[in-house]
Chains A and B, each alone.
Chain A
Amino acid sequence: MDGQISAPTQATSLFDQTVIPGDIIADLPSVANLRVGSGLRQDCFELLATKVGKLRYKKPNKYWLESSHKRYDPSAEDTILGIVVGRKSENFLVDIKSPSLALLPVVAFEGGTKKNIPKLEIGSLLYARVVKAYHGTNPELSCTDASGKAAQFGPLKEGYMFDSSTGLARMLLSTPTCPVLQAFDMQSFEIVIGLNGRIWVNASTPSMVVLISNAIMASEFLSASQQANMVKELTDRLQACCSVR
């Protein structure tokens, strides 16, 4: 069981480093009330990585792995974008890019009762929250926040949705504002980012929507300055095209 070699109680050498599955992160008897996040597994007194990613640590006891995938691993309290694909008795069947379909109770909307079930067609796009996600069962969603208010959850109208990786979605949601979004500061647009790698954009003109979506898709592996340059280049090209037309 030779993983990453580090001093037994000292795992600091691995923080913010890329680890691969099988790497031993830390020996744990020293840490009380350990909180293990995604991508890590507790094995007796050791923390093992089960995915490729960057190890993150928040004092005093939170460990997790940041990785980027095209498929989504549901976990509770994530906000995601789902597509309604069917209805099954008391639940809507929603696709959230996870191994199994998610279930959204028909009453899980603000002021939702059996009498006023929202009419969601197949192919509707929803912004929802993952309530429960256990391995082997269908994840459960809700279109309200914990207190029962709508809080901007629910179906999205108009706009354009595209797929990306979970890593890009997290990068767009991080603070301070991601450079590619910063570059569009002067424009007015709406954006909804799902942690399952789905992004919805809406703006006043289709060309703006196309510009923003392509800029975001291209920005995943670029550095901050590269992102700014790329956006500038795309905007200039669009201006040139528009002036020609």
Chain B
Amino acid sequence: MEQRLANTWHMTINEKKFIETALSKNIRVDGRSPVDYRQLTIKFGREDGSSEVQLGETHVIGFVSGQIIQPYRDRPNEGTLAIFTEFSPMADPAFEPGRPGEFAIELGRLIDRGLRESRAVDMESLCIVAGKLVWAIRVDLHILDNGGNLIDTANIAALAALLTYRKPECTLGGENGQDVVVHDPEVREPLPLIIHHMPVAVTFAFFNEGDAMVIDPTHKEEAIMGGRMTATLNSNGDVCAVQKAGGDGVSLSVITHCLRLAALKAVDITSKIKNAVDSYNTARALRKVKRHTSLVAPDITIPDSVMKDNQIGQLAEHKAQKFKEESTKTFDTESVVGIPKETDLFNKKNINFIRKDTDSFIGGPSNWDPYSQSKPPNFVRSSQISPGSSTVDHKQEARTMQIESNSEETKSNNASSGLSRTSSMSQQRTTPKSLKDAVKPKSERKNRPSSASGVN
């Protein structure tokens, strides 16, 4: 008993009285106005469908996964959506491992109702074969830190994860045309879910028997609040769900006032989520294009001979710095260099092998091939001018092959890590160039042959 007392969080009478008195004068302990949200940060993980949301000190991770199952009998052409919550004991001393407590279940139900009843996620698009196979989407929400207002944070995490999740493409095929073929994400670009609108939860806390109301309560405010109400709305002003589980009674005017406030907040939060998801998608698309570049490069056996030694040193330094930055970012979107799966590219034989793979490569954004247009980047140009790999010394050859090697994987088979860094850096340097080059005006194109011949 004593140990349990030692490990619980205690609130003093002084704090309770102070927070209540301050709220009667519309002053909040952290200096916010009663209708302000704390700072919202939305980040994404490496995989599609994983989000990390921080609202002030509250920290929640969302993860979406999909599985193919048999549909429910009364809904043969709809997929399913399930929300699971995990209240980690590291979030709050009051959370115990094992069976979810009452609040954990309430949180899960609230988010589930907001998404399901409002038909935010399109269920019929999750159907593969009516009556036989449908997608079951599962959203896992992990609470990492309880700083107050878990409902809103978990809701945003669920939305962000659902908006960035991609399910593998399925087609009917096989011998009898009835089998479902689930395509590998490398082969066919996975598809996003169809989300019609974004139901955003806004939580209100009531104090002093309904006299004072605040939005986005902190942990301390939650400990002394008289009652709580959550309103889930979308940016159109449609009310998706309202939840008030016990606590102090509030008058109708207060409730309508809260709903109006929630509508304003929902618009604000929706735009923040949209911005975060858009930047994630742009980064993802860029990643796809670059990966395609790396797979095409093996076609060229002659390396970028324009690079000088001092440039190599600078690039190595720059790459080392990028490594440092990337290692400190735990949960950031993947930056520049793509990760081709083929790492053993030292032999020429492999190059021919890879050439075939690139022909069969189908993808979304990578369908746009800058090299099929008439403006390939510098190194391609120079290589075309000087055919015959016999003139190239072996060191440069090794460098080309290492351009494709995975620079981000920790285990690298390269002879000298410095060399790989420089080659990957050259890849990095050329790939931004390649996108730019694709848009260079015609006037500059005339300079190319002269510069290339200068190289030779």
Contacts and interface: CB of A to CB of B under 8 A. Distances in A.
Interface in B216-230: none
B27 A210 contact: yes
17 contacts: A85-B10, A123-B10, A123-B11, A123-B13, A123-B16, A157-B14, A158-B14, A158-B18, A160-B18, A160-B29, A161-B14, A200-B14, A206-B22, A206-B27, A209-B22, A210-B22, A210-B31
Contacts of B17: 158
A75 interface: no
A156 interface: yes
Nearest to B24: A206
Contacts of B29: 160, 210, 213
Interface residues of A, number: 26
Interface of B: 2-3, 5-6, 10-19, 21-22, 25, 27-31
A73 to B, nearest CB: 14
A209 to B, nearest CB: 7
Contacts, number: 63
Interface string A193-211: 0000000100000110111
A125 B30 contact: no
B6 A101 contact: yes
Contact of A93 (B5, B14, B19, B25): B5
B31 A123 contact: no
A137 interface: no
Interface string A132-163: 00000000000000000000000011111100
A168 interface: no
A95 interface: yes
Given A125-B13, A158-B14, A160-B14, A206 B6 contact: no
A90 interface: no
A95 B10 contact: yes
Nearest to A238: B31
A159 B18 contact: yes
A121 interface: yes
Interface of A is mostly: mixed
A20 to B, nearest CB: 20
A86 B5 contact: yes
Given A93-B5, A158-B18, A159-B18, A207 B27 contact: yes
A223 to B, nearest CB: 22
Contacts of B10: 83, 85, 95, 123
Contact of A206 (B13, B14, B18, B30): B18
A85 B28 CA distance: 26
Given A93-B2, A101-B2, A83 B27 contact: no
A93 B25 CA distance: 35
Given A83-B10, A125-B12, A101 B5 contact: yes
B6 A123 contact: no
Nearest to B6: A101
A101 B17 CA distance: 25
A156 B19 CA distance: 16
A160 B13 CA distance: 9
A121 B13 contact: yes
Interface in A153-203: 156-161, 200
B14 A156 contact: yes
Contacts of A235: none
A160 B22 CA distance: 11
A76 B19 CA distance: 33
A204 to B, nearest CB: 12
Contacts of A214: 30-31
A6 interface: no
A159 B16 CA distance: 10
A86 B356 CA distance: 76
